[in-house]
A and B are shown apart, each in its own frame.
Chain A
Amino acid sequence: MSILTITRLELLIARRNMWVATAVLLMGLFATVLTLAGGAPTGVLGVDPLTVAVTSITTLSVYLIPLIGLLLSFDAIAGEIERGTLALGLCYPVSRAEILIGKFLAHISVLAFAVAVGLGLTAGLTVWQHGGEGLNFAPLFRLFVTSLALGAAFLGIGYTVSSLVRQPGVASGVVIVIWLVCIVLYDLGLLGALVADDGGVFTKTIFPWLLVANPADAFRLLNMPTVSVSDLASGLGAAGAVSGTLGQMTSLLAWPLLAITGAWLALRRVEP
């Protein structure tokens, strides 16, 4: 009961803070643009228009979902420590785990709503443009579920940082660095290593696992269709074949669990 009470308040705050509006606007806008822009060449290529849209939205979601997740979560604990509401909240009969889960449920709902609106627009626009016949909606559904897993992982990371750093200003800086490292620099680093290795042992055995160890890359691999749509996709596809769908799903499942557990351990040690 306490969990839902906290979720309820967090949802109210997220709505008032325009977080819901911002997330929905971002996802909706990009989904619309990518669906409409991606729709043009399909006739020539003869690829399922939804597949094209899902591929472009996946590429974008890899950047956007972790960012929204981190932005929703970095203030969750640090902000409450600073305002003194965490100390007060902990004087009520509610446990730290309940506080964490309550907040998580609220934030993941905001994310789910935003992603659902974005993907709903994609589905609607595709049907409007190409008709509903022969469209396979499974990739869209997969994109939705994996987006939530990716978002959950970064929410957990955000809570962990928020509990460890204790100052909202510092926490916001740290999460931006984490986002940059996980989403941009990690892939660049792997790319550099690939080039240096030039098709050696690293490329064949270590690289695929390093790739899938990053939840953002696991997410990308899972949602990129095996039919190559772009050079990037085909290159990733080859690497993805080694770790396999199971490896990718494990990574995407393990990260949220690890991150939330980490957040709980960090929050337990906080003296508000």
Chain B
Amino acid sequence: MTSLVVENVFKQYGAIQTLRDVSLKIEAGERVALLGHNGAGKTTLIRMILGLTAITSGDISVLGARPGSRAARSSIGYLPESVAFHGALTGREQLRHFARLKSTPLRVADELLERVGLSAAADRKIRTYSKGMRQRIGLAQALLGQPRLAVLDEPTSGLDPVSRHEFYDIVEDLSRNGTAVLLSSHALTELETRTDRIAILSSGVLVADEALANLRERARLPIRVTVTATSEAVDSVVAQLGGTRLNGRSVELNCQQDQKLTLLGQITALGNVVIDVDVMPASLEQLYRHYSAAEQRKS
């Protein structure tokens, strides 16, 4: 069964339409990143999937169940963007509480504390926790009871780079066990290698929903090639290849995917005046700007 099906969903707040005809599917084990500016409708979509906000029209099904139904809630793990657990409780008490609500053995809660690296601080009050530690408690509760759909809203905000890395390892384990993962993030670079599909929301419309490679191909954003040459040869390099001089020794060239090899051939043919070559495909950030800007031009 498809873990999450969103079909032609609209959301209307008075006169404002925050989501327009959004359709999205996530299969078991798939990791999908949901991107969008603030106010693009990410949070609204997530809240609808969780059953916290009413759907104006369209249909959402979580493992075949209606969002917000007991069946749907039993199979969802949710990490909110910002949640402040009660400071008077210890991490262990808070997590065990959630374990009880999910009818999960308390032992699992203790294991998860260790998994997210909180076992040393587990019996301290949450008010003494750093932002990253609170985020870990949030992550741990989202993992309770082996959810079949994990909804992670800005999961890595407040985490340092090492923790981010560990976080994506956990997400990878989840998806390997068949959990569908929907995560929203602003930290675009880290998503490049860690997700299967990218969905981009712009002004309430889903403007892209594809694997990163397909997005690149479709956007036809130029590949940037930087050639570093010896300082005497830079002028002749520019004369032969074109492009723009960056500084005394480097030249920047842009090309499409299908011209890449030809260009590299030309560069190699220049012989030993070339010191180094850097090839950079369009980053996720550029793609993201490309797709969300295209939608905004339309509307």
Chain A interface (Cβ within 8 Å of chain B)? 1-2, 5-6, 8-9, 12-13, 16-17, 83-85, 87-94, 271-272
Contacts and interface: CB of A to CB of B under 8 A. Distances in A.
A92 B101 contact: yes
Contact of B52 (A9, A13, A93, A271): A271
B84 A12 contact: no
Interface in B25-52: 47, 50-52
B83 A83 contact: yes
Contact of B101 (A2, A13, A16): A2
Given A13-B86, A83-B83, A93 B53 contact: no
Contacts of A93: 70, 73-74, 101-103
Nearest to B86: A13
Interface in B45-79: 47, 50-53, 68, 70, 73-74, 76, 78
A77 to B, nearest CB: 14
B80 interface: yes
Given A90-B52, A271-B52, A272-B52, A85 B85 contact: yes
Contacts of B130: none
B82 interface: yes
B65 to A, nearest CB: 11
A168 to B, nearest CB: 12
Mostly, the A contact residues are: helix
A161 B222 CA distance: 58
B47 to A, nearest CB: 8
Contact of A88 (B51, B68, B78): B78
A130 to B, nearest CB: 43
Contact of B83 (A16, A88, A92, A94): A88
A91 B86 contact: no
Contacts of A12: 88-89, 93
A13 B127 CA distance: 13
A17 B88 contact: yes
A166 to B, nearest CB: 14
B291 interface: no
B50 A85 contact: no
B102 A92 contact: yes
Interface string B92-108: 01000110111100000
A91 B102 CA distance: 10
A91 B76 contact: yes
Given A83-B84, A85-B83, A93-B102, A5 B78 contact: no
Contact of B86 (A85, A92, A271, A272): A85
B168 to A, nearest CB: 22
A91 B84 contact: no
Contacts of B83: 83-85, 87-88
Contacts of A17: 88
A191 B29 CA distance: 71
B176 to A, nearest CB: 23
Contacts of A89: 101
A12 B85 CA distance: 14
